[in-house]
Amino acid sequence: MITEKQSKALYAIRAFAILSVILAHMPFGEAHPTAESVRIALGQVGVAVFFIVSGFFYKREQGDSKSFFLSKLKTIVVPWLLISIGTFAFSAFLSRDLGGFPVSLVKWMLGVKTWYWYLPVLLVLYALFGRIYKNGAILTVCVFISVASVMLSAFGVIKYGEIFDQHFNVLNWVGLFALGCLIKKYSLIDRLSGVLPLLISLAVLTASVILSVKFGQDKAYIDYFSIPVEISGFVLLYNLSFALSEVKPLCDIGKKSFFIYLIQMQPAGIINTRLPYNVPLFIIRPFAVLAVLYLLSLLLQLVLKKLKLEKYAFVLALK
């Protein structure tokens, strides 16, 4: 069992995670190469946090496959499909391009060259871990498999193409999901907060980001230093979230992180191209996007309440 404070911290950490995801989608450009490399490194942390937290909360019962995946159909697949259709339509409107439709729509929804790749990968992980999420030995092997897969990708041994890129290689993510399961299985969440874990994670993250900037490939998720960046980033953000767990707006943003994730790319692109290009505004950009999307989520909730349609909030990933 986890405490109420830990539960709130795991909501709050999603707020920091979605901020990292937004940052990952707001490039600084060639004029600021060092800042761009730092952005790429820090932008990796958010997805890792979501996979680890998903593994932590993963729970199955014998014979529950139908009920489990029906619940995911309602809470994940329905809002994913509906909102992705909307973002595709918006993109087509802006570009005046419907070439390849409906294949282009299917690719868009599945995450081929879009940010939705996380969702099919997550559903695959849900299916894979049905029988092994309590097996410590297998979970540990999964962690090593991911380390090997990421390193082989970084060294170019595992090749990627236009469709199958590093995002769709489930082996790159299976270890993070397994790590979340391990943290839950062995009650390690209690040991992640405190001065010592905070200082160690800060030191490892700082060193990993510096090394990534100096020696890395600037290719997200399969850099030589991706694994230490992601894991130390998770521990650091958990400590920050634990300290700020009573900040209600932060926890509320975490609860609405799926809605924000589903629509964040296009607002991020609009804001990123409209603001002047300088370092202070690069820092402000992702916070501005997060604030706008959080306010939009509150507005939509209010509209649904006024229309007495709160029970359909799940359609927009707001419940």
pLDDT digits (tens, 9 = 90+) for 213-268: 888 776 789 999 999 999 999 999 999 999 999 999 999 999 999 999 999 999 99
Q: Is the pLDDT of residue 185 over 90?
A: yes
The pLDDT of residue 158 is 95
Which two tokens mark 253? 């943003």
Find the mean pLDDT for residues 177-191. 96
The pLDDT of residue 233 is 98
**Comparison of pLDDT for 131 and 276, the residue scoring more:** 131
Q: How confident is the model at residue 189 (pLDDT cuts 50, 70, 90)?
A: very high
Distance CA 160, CA 134 (A): 32
Q: Provide CB contacts within 8 A for 63, sequence distance 6+.
A: none
pLDDT digits (tens, 9 = 90+) for 144-164: 999 999 999 999 999 998 889
Distance CA 9, CA 308 (A): 31
Which two tokens mark 17? 């995670």
Distance CA 108, CA 105 (A): 5
**Amino acid identity for residue 155 in this structure:** F
| Torsion from C-alpha of 192, 197, 200, 204, nearest 10 degrees | 20
**Comparison of pLDDT for 215 and 199, the residue scoring more:** 199
Evaluate whether 241 touches 9 at the Cβ level (below 8 Å): yes
Q: Provide CB contacts within 8 A for 130, sequence distance 6+.
A: 60, 65
Mean pLDDT of the chain: 93
The length of the chain, given as a count of residues:
319
Q: Is 217 exposed, middle or buried (0-12, 13-18, 19+ CB in 10 A)?
A: middle
**Comparison of pLDDT for 184 and 30, the residue scoring more:** 184
The pLDDT of residue 97 is 75
The pLDDT of residue 290 is 97
Assess whether the previous peptide bond of 27 is cis (omega < 30° from 0).
no
Q: How confident is the model at residue 272 (pLDDT cuts 50, 70, 90)?
A: confident
Q: How confident is the model at residue 280 (pLDDT cuts 50, 70, 90)?
A: confident
pLDDT digits (tens, 9 = 90+) for 79-94: 999 999 999 999 988 8
Query: What pTM was computed for the model?
Result: 0.96
Q: Is 30 exposed, middle or buried (0-12, 13-18, 19+ CB in 10 A)?
A: exposed
- Of 208, 237, 179, 240, whose CA–CA distance to 41 is shortest? 208
Distance CA 50, CA 241 (A): 14
